């Protein structure tokens, strides 16, 4: 059962309005489906657009922020739980520890790094969590093409495509999460190394 969903997302306030609308819709759907949100603890960008809707829907916000960002005063006072970590690496570990699934919304280098690490963690069998990429406005199309190139050129096994799910809408994200069964996922040597 999925109770706490980790959301990786941009902290930028200057994106096209459509990105915020989709993030808000996702937050509404998470709360309607009785899911709490684990996130970077920010009051900015797509992070906050999603988080404020989760909170408005009566669910819990769990914020996790490294010290350097906390010092910049960009945190949200609306978090039900708030953790400050020494660095970004420890932040990711805490987010992983506290979540049952994760969603990557459009974002910058931080979001890309977080998503990549979680895919590798799953690839190696360190977790069996649902990983969903919300591809609003086709934002991730080029990255997904790069993932395909990695597989086509045998830098990763073709089964790596089963590590994550790509959704075009918040509704598709929730449908995937509701149907996800972690026990369907297992790791074998031949699944990791390219063939």
- 5 DSSP assignment: E
Kindly indicate the confidence band of residue 195, based on its pLDDT and cuts at 50, 70 and 90. low
Give rounded-to-5 percent helix, strand, coil for the chain. Answer: 50, 15, 35
Given a contact cutoff of 8 angstroms between Cβ atoms, the answer to whether 41 and 85 are in contact is: no
Question: Looking at domain 4-174, which of 3.40.50.300, 3.40.50.450, 3.40.50.12160, 1.10.10.60 is its CATH number?
Answer: 3.40.50.450
pLDDT tens for 132-177 read 999 999 999 999 999 999 999 999 999 899 999 999 999 999 999 9
Mean pLDDT of 106-132: 96
pLDDT tens for 3-30 read 999 999 999 999 999 999 999 999 999 9
Q: What is the pLDDT of residue 182?
A: 83
Domain locations in the chain as residue ranges:
4-174
N-to-C CA span, the chain: 34
Q: Average pLDDT of the chain?
A: 94
Q: Is the pLDDT of residue 194 over 80?
A: no
């Amino acid at each position: 059962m999925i109770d706490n969903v980790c959301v990786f997302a941009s902290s930028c306030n200057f994106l096209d309005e459509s990105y915020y609308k989709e993030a808000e819709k996702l937050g509404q759907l998470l709360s309607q489906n009785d899911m709490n949100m684990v996130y970077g603890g920010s009051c900015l960008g797509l992070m906050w657009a999603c988080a404020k809707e989760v909170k408005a829907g009566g669910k819990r916000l769990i914020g996790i922020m490294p010290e350097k960002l906390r010092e910049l005063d960009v945190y949200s006072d609306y978090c039900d739980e708030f953790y400050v970590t020494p660095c970004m690496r420890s932040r990711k570990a805490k987010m992983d520890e506290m979540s049952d699934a994760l969603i990557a919304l459009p974002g910058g280098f931080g979001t890309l790094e977080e998503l990549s690490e979680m895919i590798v963690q799953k690839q190696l069998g360190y977790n069996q969590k649902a990983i969903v990429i919300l591809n609003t406005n086709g934002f991730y199309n080029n990255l997904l093409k790069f993932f395909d190139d990695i597989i086509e050129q045998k830098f990763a096994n073709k089964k790596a495509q089963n590590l994550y799910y790509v959704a075009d809408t918040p509704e598709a994200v929730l449908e995937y999460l509701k149907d996800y069964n972690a026990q369907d996922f297992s790791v074998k040597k031949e699944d990791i190394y390219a063939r």
